[in-house]
Amino acid sequence: MESEKAKIHPPPPGGVDAKMKDEKAYPIILLTEALTSFGAFLLSYYNFIHNNLYTIILTTMEALNVPQQICAIVLLATLLVAVFAMTVAGAFLRICQISFMLLIPSILWFSNLDWLQILELPINLQLFKTDLPFTFTLYSGLLIVSCETLHYFLFQIKRTRDELLSRGAYKADVGKVTMKQLKFSSTLTALCMLTTVTITNIAFVLKTTLQNITNQIIYPYIALGTISATITIICILAYLKVQARKSP
């Protein structure tokens, strides 16, 4: 009987150890998604409660005979329930999008462009004033965008994993592929983030020089954005080329 079962269901390459690797691959992805999305939410919520918009919401609710403490607890509880529901549903990208929305008021405060005036909205930019420094808000946004990028990669990894399994691939082989893709995606996201941080720090050091240059450019935001995107793409292509050389 055992020999017949072995013929019908041959053991995967690598034996029991390979099975264990496959069992660990998928939970690691889910754990990474859960931790990074929840961390991004906490970071963005911390930015939000230090924004003037949060204070205005509490003050408005107090005018409606709702104590500020109760309003703050209800608001936090509502967001946590929404985040928990999205976590259970596996909608980790949605959590990152909510996190970014909570960060937008602080980003608007530090923007040199008054978007509200451009859109002819009857709202003062002072509405979005924040107590936190510019660098904290900047790096918070960078981390949230990096988390969203990583989650996109992880979504593609899970889709590839399900497709391979549906075609009858060994779970052990799928587990190895999944782990390699996870390491590659994490490294690629980290490189993009480090590249952006490096460019940002250089910009801070050369602030005066860059201001003199940008004053001579007609559309400085578009120009600088194009340069940053080009540098990031070059770094990604260089990394992919190195990895292609290493692969057999």
Residue 156 placed within a domain: yes
Per the prediction, the chain carries an average pLDDT of: 77
Question: For residue 111, which of 191, 1, 233, 221 has the smallest C-alpha distance?
Answer: 221
Look at the pTM and tell me if it is higher than 0.75. no
Say if residues 50 and 95 touch (Cβ distance below 8 Å). no
User: How many independent structural domains does the chain possess?
Assistant: 1
Residue 224 placed within a domain: no
pLDDT in tens, 125-142: 777 888 888 888 888 888
**What percentage of residues in the chain have a pLDDT greater than 70?**
77
Contacts of 128 (CB under 8 A, 6+ apart): 51, 52, 53, 105, 106, 108, 109
pLDDT in tens, 207-237: 667 667 666 666 666 777 787 778 878 877 8
Residue 222 placed within a domain: no
Rounded to whole angstroms, how far apart are CA atoms 237 and 69?
51
What is residue 46's predicted lDDT score, i.e. its pLDDT? 93
Residue linked to tokens 């072995």: 6
Say if residues 125 and 114 touch (Cβ distance below 8 Å). yes
Residue 14 placed within a domain: yes
Question: For residue 79, which of 52, 51, 108, 48 has the smallest C-alpha distance?
Answer: 48
Residue 239 placed within a domain: no
Full domain range(s) for residue 67: 2-205
What is residue 93's predicted lDDT score, i.e. its pLDDT? 81
Residue 116 has pLDDT above 70, yes or no: no
Written as six digits, the tokens of 118 are 């451009």
CA dist list (Å): 129 to 35, 47, 93, 114, 180: 29, 11, 27, 13, 44
Residue 155 placed within a domain: yes
Written as six digits, the tokens of 214 are 């940008």
Residue 218 placed within a domain: no
Say if residues 56 and 127 touch (Cβ distance below 8 Å). yes
CA 74 distance to own-chain centroid: 26
Residue 221 placed within a domain: no
> Which residues are registered as beta bridge partners of 140?
none
Mean local confidence (pLDDT), 26-36: 83
